[in-house]
Homo-oligomer: A and B are copies of this chain.
Amino acid sequence: MKKSLGARTIIFPTPVLIVATYDPAGRPNAMAAAWGGICCSDPPCVAVSLREATYTYGNLMARKAFTINIPSEEYLREADYLGLVSGRNVEKFPAAGLTPAPGKSVDAPVIEEFPLVLECALLKSVRIGLHTQFIGEIKDVRAETAVLDAGGNPGIGLVKPLIFDPAGRAYYGIGPRLGQAFAAGKSIGAPPAKEGRC
Contacts and interface: CB of A to CB of B under 8 A. Distances in A.
Contact of A182 (B33, B155, B169): B169
B168 A78 contact: no
B198 A54 contact: yes
Given A38-B35, A182-B80, A140 B47 contact: no
Contact of A172 (B123, B166, B178, B189): B178
A45 to B, nearest CB: 6
Contacts of A85: 189-191, 195, 197-198
Contact of A189 (B90, B140, B149): B90
A102 interface: no
Interface string A162-174: 1111111111111
A51 B175 CA distance: 30
A180 B86 CA distance: 19
Given A13-B15, A45-B129, A129-B42, A83 B185 contact: yes
Contacts of A11: 15, 17, 37-38, 46, 68, 70, 118
A108 B169 CA distance: 29
